[in-house]
A and B are shown apart, each in its own frame.
Chain A
Amino acid sequence: MSDKKVIDVKDVFFSYGKTPFLRDISFSVSEGEIFGFLGPSGAGKSTLQKVLTGICTDYEGSASILGTESRKSGKDFYERIGVDFEFPSLFEKLTARENMEYFASLYSGSKRDIDELLKEVGLYEHADKKVSAFSKGMKSRLNFIKALVHDPDVLFLDEPTSGLDPNNAKIMKDMIRKEKEKGKTIILTTHDMHDATELCDRVVFIVDGQMKALDTPHNFIMSRGAAKVTYTYMDEGVEQTVCSLLDEISEDTTLKKLIDENRITSIHSAEPTLSDIFIEITGAHLDGQEQP
């Protein structure tokens, strides 16, 4: 990851009507960084992506991508970005290869090898099948490599692992990491905290069109609570549960005694998850419900 800023967003406000939908959005993303937009449905993640990709142009403030203000996006701008929408955007009556060839033909620069891409996501054997015969997961994978076919510098991925089985989700995540290694800058829009923790260098929490917090997943987890140890034991026929902080465990005399007496029935350690931190900071669940 380099220090070169690829995306620079300053004081962005946007509204579909009279009420502001995005408010006071500012952040920057470096070359080779995976940057996550996290938030519940309707929080403004996709709208922010539309601002960055030059679809919504009537915003206030500045949103510069690869040195181009996104409201001034033109053909050259779109040659350099790739977008994988949450939904498949493919010609159902065309085969996988025909879809790839068609979308590749819309770009003028160098292209990735279509067969290689199909092989990477396990669709090479299905390359000549019509997309209408594909499962949801197959369409998602094809949609993903469609965004890569023109070898863009910046990738916008919207819920890339949504609807995929664990095996295919892993293939997809490995491919995302490979793109990062090649120096591609990636914006990952998701409400899957596990994906965000695994993949993102930094994440921003977005709720109600506002940035609530921005940091690395590691810093979020470390700053908001230490790891805990929970153990259980039997006392006069009743199961007792005790929770201790991991960094204070040496001072837990009960635990020492129970170990000596071999009375522990279970013991687990657990760190707070990004999901816990999200709820703590924003007061919102990822399904969009407010905390009581």
Chain B
Amino acid sequence: MRKISVIKGDIVFQWKYGFYFLYALVLLVYMIIFSFFEGNVRNIIVSCCVYSDPAAMGMFFMGALILLEKSQHITASLAISPVTPEDYILGKSVSFAIISVIVGVLLIVQGHTDSILLCMTGVFLSSVIFSLCGVIVGTKVSNLNQYIIGTLPFELIGFAPVIAYRIGFMWDEPLMLIHPGCATMQLVEGRTDMLAGSLVSLLVWIVILFIIADKCVRKMYRLVGGVKL
């Protein structure tokens, strides 16, 4: 029940701070851009956009969300409540993943996928991965500039190989599935030939990043209130 309350609280918080308005704006802009393309090129662009925005948006917005919470000392109240670091991470990741899936579906229907269910799964898992990256950086910084600099490596590693992969380099190379973005791209397009590998890759990344994010949130909880030496 508490987990649901935390997720619901995060959704309300994101709504009140206009995050959903930004999602709607991004959606509108992409739809306009897609209208200029046709055929396979359009499909590739749509797939890349589904990955780069709905899926990865958690990381972009996570910094803003955590910094807002820090500025309003919300983390202090959560640290002394039954909300565990796991609940905290779950609330953020799932709330962003839900909106990501909705936006992802609205975008993918502008292009092509062999399976809408796999596409939704891919966006959901990928969104969780990026949210976890966002939590890791967000808990360590105190302003937006630091956050932007802190997430740069994640963005470079997260996006560059995926774009290269999707436009044709090593498209059928199973080893590329080690990269969570490439695994996501498989799912977004509904490809079932390397389904198990894609899912395992994403789940392993989620477990690894969750463990790191959990340590970061525990450290952030420890620093609330009082002096810092």
A126 to chain B, nearest CB (A): 18
Once the chains bind, are B13 and A91 in contact (CB under 8 Å)?
Answer: yes
Once the chains bind, are A107 and B226 in contact (CB under 8 Å)?
Answer: no
| Residue in contact with A94 in the complex, picked from B12, B83, B224, CB distance below 8 Å | B12
Q: List CB contacts (< 8 Å) of B86-113 with chain A.
A: none
Q: List CB contacts (< 8 Å) of A11-39 with chain B.
A: 16-17, 21
Once the chains bind, are A83 and B229 in contact (CB under 8 Å)?
Answer: no
Q: Which residue of B lies closest to A104 (CB)?
A: B5
A56 touches B (CB below 8 Å): yes
A210 to chain B, nearest CB (A): 15
Q: Answer whether A47 and B226 are a contact pair too, CB < 8 Å, given A88-B73, A93-B16.
A: yes
Once the chains bind, are B80 and A46 in contact (CB under 8 Å)?
Answer: no
Q: Which residues of B contact A87 (CB under 8 A)?
A: 73, 76, 225
Q: Which residues of A contact B9 (CB under 8 A)?
A: 102, 105
Once the chains bind, are A55 and B229 in contact (CB under 8 Å)?
Answer: no
Once the chains bind, are B81 and A106 in contact (CB under 8 Å)?
Answer: yes
Q: Which residues of B contact A17 (CB under 8 A)?
A: 229
Give bound CA distance, A88 to B74, whole Å. 9
A142 to chain B, nearest CB (A): 12
Once the chains bind, are A46 and B73 in contact (CB under 8 Å)?
Answer: no
| Residue in contact with A108 in the complex, picked from B72, B82, B84, CB distance below 8 Å | B82
Binds B, one of A74-82, A114-122, A223-231, A232-240: A74-82
A280 touches B (CB below 8 Å): no
Once the chains bind, are B221 and A55 in contact (CB under 8 Å)?
Answer: yes
B17 touches A (CB below 8 Å): yes
B199 touches A (CB below 8 Å): no
Q: Which residue of B lies closest to A56 (CB)?
A: B222
B160 touches A (CB below 8 Å): no
Give bound CA distance, A87 to B228, whole Å. 16
Q: Mark B1-35, 1 if CB is under 8 A from A, else 0.
A: 11001101100110011000000000000000000
Once the chains bind, are A55 and B16 in contact (CB under 8 Å)?
Answer: no
| Residue in contact with B81 in the complex, picked from A42, A78, A86, A158, CB distance below 8 Å | A78
A70 to chain B, nearest CB (A): 11
Interface size of A as a range: 35 or more
A99 to chain B, nearest CB (A): 10
Q: Which residues of B contact A53 (CB under 8 A)?
A: 80
Once the chains bind, are A103 and B222 in contact (CB under 8 Å)?
Answer: no
Q: List CB contacts (< 8 Å) of A53-107 with chain B.
A: 53-57, 75-76, 78-79, 81, 83, 85-94, 98, 102-103, 105-107
B227 touches A (CB below 8 Å): yes
Give bound CA distance, A103 to B227, whole Å. 25
Q: Answer whether A107 and B82 are a contact pair too, CB < 8 Å, given A47-B227, A85-B73, A94-B16.
A: yes
Q: Which residue of A lies closest to B78 (CB)?
A: A106
A170 touches B (CB below 8 Å): no
Once the chains bind, are A21 and B84 in contact (CB under 8 Å)?
Answer: no
B191 to chain A, nearest CB (A): 41
B77 touches A (CB below 8 Å): yes
Give bound CA distance, A89 to B73, whole Å. 5
Q: Which residues of A contact B77 (CB under 8 A)?
A: 83, 85, 89-90, 103, 146
B148 touches A (CB below 8 Å): no
B50 to chain A, nearest CB (A): 30
Q: Answer whether A46 and B12 are a contact pair too, CB < 8 Å, given A53-B80, A103-B77, A108-B2.
A: no
A to B CB contacts below 8 Å, 23 in the list: A16-B227, A42-B227, A46-B225, A46-B226, A50-B222, A50-B224, A53-B80, A54-B80, A57-B222, A78-B81, A83-B77, A85-B225, A87-B73, A87-B76, A88-B73, A90-B77, A92-B72, A102-B5, A103-B77, A105-B2, A105-B5, A105-B9, A108-B82
Which residues of A pack against B, CB within 8 Å?
A: 16-17, 21, 42, 46-47, 49-50, 53-57, 75-76, 78-79, 81, 83, 85-94, 98, 102-103, 105-108, 146, 158
